[in-house]
């Protein structure tokens, strides 16, 4: 069984690598990024790329469902990079990581309702 681990990428960026459903069976990477005095977690667009292989992303029902899922977990999609992100603090990073993981899992498993 694969276990969660972290890796330092730069002085202000860490990769949190964890087992979660991926089409190719690989581990997911979530990045904890320090942006000045703010922190956020990001998938850097990998989930959107997988979703784009599963769905017609411009379809109104798909967009509506993705927006609703993101809103439920407090996650936002970056307009240009398609990264799903959530703001966090050093005190709540573990909780927010759980929210982001649940949100990504929910979106990736949405395909069972469409096929």
86, 40 contact by CB (below 8 A): yes
Cα distances (angstroms) measured from residue 49 to each of 8, 52, 83, 85: 24, 5, 9, 15
Instruction: Give the mean pLDDT of 49-64.
Output: 86
Note the pLDDT of residue 109. Answer: 81
55, 108 contact by CB (below 8 A): no
74-103 pLDDT, tens digit each: 999 998 899 999 999 989 999 999 999 899
CATH of domain 5-113: 3.30.1460
C-alpha span between 85 and 112 (Å, rounded) = 24
Cα distances (angstroms) measured from residue 67 to each of 11, 50, 64: 32, 16, 5
Q: How confident is the model at residue 108 (pLDDT cuts 50, 70, 90)?
A: confident
């Amino acid at each position: 069984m694969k276990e969660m681990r972290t890796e330092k990428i730069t002085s202000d960026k860490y990769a949190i690598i964890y087992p979660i459903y991926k089409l190719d069976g690989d581990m997911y990477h979530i990045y904890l990024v320090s942006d000045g005095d703010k922190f956020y977690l990001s998938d850097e667009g990998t989930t959107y790329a997988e979703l784009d292989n599963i769905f017609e992303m411009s379809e109104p029902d798909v967009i509506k469902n993705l927006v609703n899922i993101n809103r439920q977990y407090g996650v936002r999609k970056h307009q240009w990079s398609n990264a799903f992100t959530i703001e966090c603090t050093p005190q709540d990073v573990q909780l927010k990581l759980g929210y982001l993981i649940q949100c990504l899992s929910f979106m990736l498993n949405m395909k069972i309702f469409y096929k």
